[in-house]
Structure 1
Amino acid sequence: MKDKTIDYVLRATWQAVARMYNEEASKYGATMATGFALLSIDKENGTPSTALGPKMGMEATSLTRTLKSMEEKGLIVRKKNPEDGRGIIIHLTDLGQQKRELSKSTVVKFNETIKEAVSPEKLQHFMEVSEIINDLISDKKIFLEEELQKK
């Protein structure tokens, strides 16, 4: 483990998690992106399509493909925003609500399994380190300072 870089461990772990979720989702004719979207859509009031991309951390083109597929499968419906006729609100259908619960139970199972295998202290450290990495990236403290020094 000591020869592996931090970014390698993050990437390899995320790829393993994504592969696991996609394998599980494929049993139900879905994908990890579909499950994540189902969990990101407010089950009571729907979610504006413009808010969904940032909430999920997805690019617009990927989100558009995912939503189109979900609509074709009868998981969501698009409705005009009553407060802004130009906007669209994504709502879950009854089938979408059912699949959302399935996605939720899958995520809960993953989290419970990890919590059984990893001590609370180690999990807390993992969360803290992840937050620091995210902060360093969002604050552009990894490469931006280096670029400023070159000028």
Structure 2
Amino acid sequence: MAQDVDLSQVDRIIAAHGSGAGALIPVLQKVQDALGWLPKPAMDRIAAGLRIPASNVYGVATFYAQFRLKPVGKYIIKVCHGTACHVAGATKITEAFERELAVKDGETTADRMFTLESVACLGCCSLAPVAMVQKEAHGRLTGDKVAKVISDYRKAEGGK
């Protein structure tokens, strides 16, 4: 599957950070911020631009959980599964999101609007169970509230 990637963005990011292995993680972070994920053509360009082996770039990108090697949705939903949220029903909340979005944990909707992820802790324990959509916390969730959260984001996108 060929990916159309604007490599000029990658080139600008590399130029701003210089070459060498020391620039790799900041460059990967900035490229992911720009593209939303790290497609293979971008990682190949990073390797060439930083003058390091492509295997090093891929190794770092796969080692750190912060890097995404698959496209993600416009809205990333992070469901907290820390202790307080787990006790308060985080598993049921994840299942409600899965039903509402018709995806499994870790997947992205076909329209690439939402990506669902379980995370260890969001630090919002008093709101348990909680999910974060982008930087907005949605606390004391129930199955009905999950449906409303998704509905509100879809409405904001014109009812998609």
Question: If the TM-score is normalised by the length of the shorter chain, which range does it land in?
Answer: under 0.3
Structure with a larger share of its residues in helix: 1
- For the pair shown, the structure with the greater C-alpha radius of gyration is 1
